[in-house]
Each structure stands twice: as C-alpha cells, then as structure tokens.
C-alpha cells in the first residue's frame, strides 16, 4: 500500500487506485503546461509522481484540477463533493489573457470551476 497524499487542500491523491493510464500526466503537460507530475519508476513500482516524489503541495502543482477532471478511477478526487445548483459564466481575473470559465455556485459559495469549450481564448482549457 502506498500512503495517500492528502497534502493538497483541494484534492486527494490515492495512487493505490491508479491504473497508470497517464491521462493526468498528459493533462498537466499538454493542457496546462505546468508539468507537476510524471510517470516514475519501473515495473511493479511504476507510479505517477511529483519531482522528487514529494507531497503534491510541495510540487509545482497549481491546483488547477485538470488532472482530477480526467482521472477515470478514484485515484484523484476532490475533497468536496458538493454539487453546484447553478452556473455563472465569468472571466478569470488572474492574468491579462481573459480565459472564460463557468463558476458552479451553491448558495453564496463557489464549489466548482470549469472552462468554457467554445470561447476564445480558453477553448476548453482553464490553466
């Protein structure tokens, strides 16, 4: 059994449930360009790891959630399973690019964020 990495406040990594499909690695590399995780080790020891096999909170991870959205097993799961009751389209204020996103709202709280698929410049990416 590999210890569960619950260092990140937004999601939990349980590599015991990983099937090594590589979707999270591709998302982190090809979609976000952050490269916080990678395939590591060989044979029965093969796993998805951060640089130096550190807890994900100490890695380059920016907690964008792209890997969690793509994981087909329970290896990567959000801490909160609260579902939004409505969505509000908005523009991310983080930088000057102007990515579009939908905020999932429950009551007066934002519980989810997902990218828009068609609007420029996002085109399905929320990095």
Question: Which stretches of the chain bind ligand SF4, using CB under 6 A?
Answer: 18-24, 27-28, 32, 34, 36-37, 48, 61-67, 70-73, 75-76
Nearest CB to ligand SF4, comparing residues 24 and 101: 24
Nearest CB to ligand SF4, comparing residues 18 and 101: 18
Nearest CB to ligand SF4, comparing residues 43 and 107: 43
**Chain centroid to CA 115: how far?**
12
Smallest gap from residue 45 Cβ to ligand SF4 (A) = 14
Smallest gap from residue 3 Cβ to ligand SF4 (A) = 15
**Chain centroid to CA 32: how far?**
10
**Could you tell me which residues come within 8 angstroms of residue 76 by beta carbon, excluding any fewer than 6 positions away?**
11, 12, 13, 14, 24, 67, 68
Dist. CA 12–CA 26, nearest whole Å: 19
Smallest gap from residue 36 Cβ to ligand SF4 (A) = 4
Dist. CA 70–CA 65, nearest whole Å: 9
């Amino acid at each position: 059994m590999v210890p569960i990495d619950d260092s990140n406040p937004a999601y939990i990594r349980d590599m015991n449930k990983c099937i090594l499909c590589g979707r999270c690695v591709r998302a982190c590399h090809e979609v976000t360009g952050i490269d916080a995780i990678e395939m590591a080790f060989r044979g029965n020891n093969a796993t998805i790891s951060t640089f130096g096999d550190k807890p994900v909170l100490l890695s380059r991870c920016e907690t964008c959630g792209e890997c969690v959205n793509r994981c087909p097993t329970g290896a990567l799961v959000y801490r909160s399973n609260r579902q939004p009751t409505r969505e509000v389209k908005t523009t991310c204020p983080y930088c000057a690019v102007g990515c579009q996103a939908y905020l999932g709202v429950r009551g007066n709280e934002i519980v989810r964020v997902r990218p828009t698929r068609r609007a420029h410049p996002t085109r399905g990416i929320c990095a």
